[in-house]
């Protein structure tokens, strides 16, 4: 996880709805998260949504959520379910899960 005091660190769990599979969403999400110093994972779900768990600074997570609202070119995000959590500290990088 990125450096900072516990108060400035957070985690968010998201389910992204829309045209988000088959458009490079997971790979682009991994690149965006890594660029922002965010750790966690992204994966496709059976129902056509994409699930994201991310930990990092609150500033990085906020800008990451703004990016997720649009996604990569070709995606059409309809809505995001997002829940804030305490970071687990269990992740060292951002990865695509299968």
53-86 per-position pLDDT tens digit: 999 999 999 999 999 999 999 999 999 999 999 9
Q: What is the topology classification, in CATH, of domain 6-96?
A: Alpha-Beta Plaits (3.30.70)
Q: Which residue in 19, 44, 66, 92 is the catalytic one?
A: 44
* Tokens matching residue 44: 């496709």
Residue 1 has a pLDDT of: 41
State the distance between the two ends of the chain, measured CA to CA, in whole angstroms. Answer: 22
Span 39-53, average pLDDT: 98
Collapse the DSSP code of 50 into the 3-class scheme (helix H, G, I; strand E, B; otherwise coil) and give the result: strand
26 noted as active-site residue: yes
Q: What is the pLDDT, as a whole number, of residue 7?
A: 61
What's the pTM value of the predicted model, to 2 decimals? 0.92
Q: Is 44 a catalytic residue?
A: yes
- Hey, where are the domains in the chain? 6-96
- The token pair at 30 is 């991994």
Percent of the chain topping pLDDT 70:
93
- For the chain, the average pLDDT equals 94
């Amino acid at each position: 996880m990125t450096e900072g005091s516990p108060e400035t660190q957070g985690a968010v769990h998201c389910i992204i709805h829309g045209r988000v599979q088959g458009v490079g969403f997971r790979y682009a999400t991994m690149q965006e998260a890594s660029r922002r110093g965010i750790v966690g994972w992204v994966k496709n779900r059976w129902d056509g949504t994409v699930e994201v768990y991310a930990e990092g600074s609150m500033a990085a997570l906020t800008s990451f959520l703004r990016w997720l609202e649009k996604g990569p070119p070709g995606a059409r995000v309809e809505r995001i379910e997002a829940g804030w959590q305490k970071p687990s500290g269990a992740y060292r990088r951002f990865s695509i899960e299968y």
